[in-house]
Structure 1
């Protein structure tokens, strides 16, 4: 069965113009243009990525080799922070109370896979004991959606895909993000609250790396889907199991350890690149 070589670039960059396409190997044949200057695909029988990357000579283009079978996914499980939204909420909460560097250092080590996530999140939350919910709400109001997030979810839902947030962050933030972006479900860590403040603890069990993969598998089973019909997207080390299990596991602007391990990666484009990987053209995007 044919595979697809998919080339994507940042929206509006026009990197994949006629001149760039003319320098690609002639053996690829004629491209199917998914979005002018932004995304093209080629039906291929073997993997030409090495030759294509050489032809692109360092241009800001993502090169992915995608199986044709079950290409349009029926389930997406997505990380939230630095994936569906630009923010890292724990870091922003910490900055509000002047312990940003201490929290950020733990976050970075966790995302790089240097320390256990469950331990790190408990340590960071403990440092936020007695944080007023007013500060939580202030940070929630400053959440910025990742470029392409709304279009990605609206388009997938338009075409019958079930969408789920699976975050090592907090349901206090993931629920409003779920509602705003239109996700069907959101799963994450529950913060203990008392008297209008954080208690410094998380309701057990911690929603961690293994929980993300478990969510993918359990939701797929509930919907009667094979894992080949699923997609996952994330940027950090605690997304690795999710990305490995999903039929289309995409490392999105990811940490180096994640980008190297993932079968599919988007380093330059926005989240609409996940639609191009599934063969959607820009004309099919939801408004």
Structure 2
């Protein structure tokens, strides 16, 4: 693995993209309202993320895998995301995304947005439909922080040269592990804990912070 000058790691939902993918999937099950309320509670830190994710994924049981393509076309990249990833690459950096969302969507959108590496949850499928369970270990706050440290180690990037960008309570450990933790479009608890708060929902605002 080639060394990098620095590493930028973003959350996916409401950071890299404007949407919460699990809510778009819940539309397919006719259960968006309840899933949206549970997502908000988890992002505020009111409930444990892993417990909340399991309950929200249960609401997706029976949704066919053909829904993934319908959800993908509804995804709205956050303004400035391509400009940010291009600027990181021009300066010798690497862009990572670690998400409490799902590989089934991120695998399609991440490369197009200039992301170099990513990690997310996987949804279990039985007979062409979602089973209502997560397949494998859940990407929670601790997993996000460990992903940042792991990638920095692989790229020979010192902790001080890492930037973590997120919006929810699930991002706080990752932001604390980074040299610079940026609250972007964030919940109050995240803004209070971040090194820096970016108000406009435009990722070009991050470019001046790059080394």
User: Could you say whether these structures have the same fold, taking a TM-score greater than 0.5 normalized by the shorter chain as the test?
Assistant: yes
Gaps of 5+ in 1: 1-71, 280-287
User: Is 1:73–1:278's contact at 8 Å kept on the other side of the alignment?
Assistant: no
Q: Does 1:181 align with 2:113?
A: yes
Separation in 1 of the partners of 2:75 and 2:187?
21
1:106 is matched with 38
Which of 232, 239, 245 aligns to 2:171? It is 239
Is the CA contact 2:88–2:210 (under 8 Å) kept in the aligned structure 1? Answer: no
Distance 1:73 1:259, change over 3 A: farther
Which of 67, 76, 79 is 1:144 aligned to? 76
TM-score using structure 2 length: 0.95
- For the 8 Å contact 1:132–1:198, the answer to whether it is kept is yes
- In structure 2, the partner of 1:154 is 86
Q: What displacement does 1:142 show?
A: 0.9
Matches of residues 15-164 of structure 1 in structure 2 within 5 Å?
74-164=6-96
1:200 matches 2:200: no
Residues 200-241 of structure 1, C-alpha deviation per residue, up to 9 Å, x if partnerless?
A: 111221111111100010111111121101111010000001
Q: Deviations over 1:1-50 (max 9, x none)?
A: xxxxxxxxxxxxxxxxxxxxxxxxxxxxxxxxxxxxxxxxxxxxxxxxxx
Runs of 4 or more consecutive aligned structure 1 residues displaced over 6 Å after TM superposition = none
Deviation at 1:133, TM superposition (A): 1.2
Distance 1:174 1:251 in 2: 21
- 1:255 and 2:187 aligned: yes
Q: CA shift at 1:130, angstroms?
A: 1.3
The Cα shift of 1:268 comes to 2.3
C-alpha distance in 1 between matches for 2:5 and 2:19: 27
Q: 2-side partners of 1:275 and 1:119: how far apart?
A: 35
Larger Rg: 1
Q: Which has the higher mean CA deviation after the structures are superposed, 117-126 or 127-136?
A: 127-136
Deviation, 1:245, is 1.3
Greater RCO structure (CA 8 Å; 6+ sep): 2
Q: Distance in 2 between matches of 1:73 and 1:225?
A: 6
RMSD: 1.4
Shift of 1:248: 1.6
Equivalent in 214, 225, 245 of residue 157 of structure 2: 225
Q: State the shift of 1:73 in Å.
A: 6.1
When normalised by structure 1's length, the TM-score is: 0.70
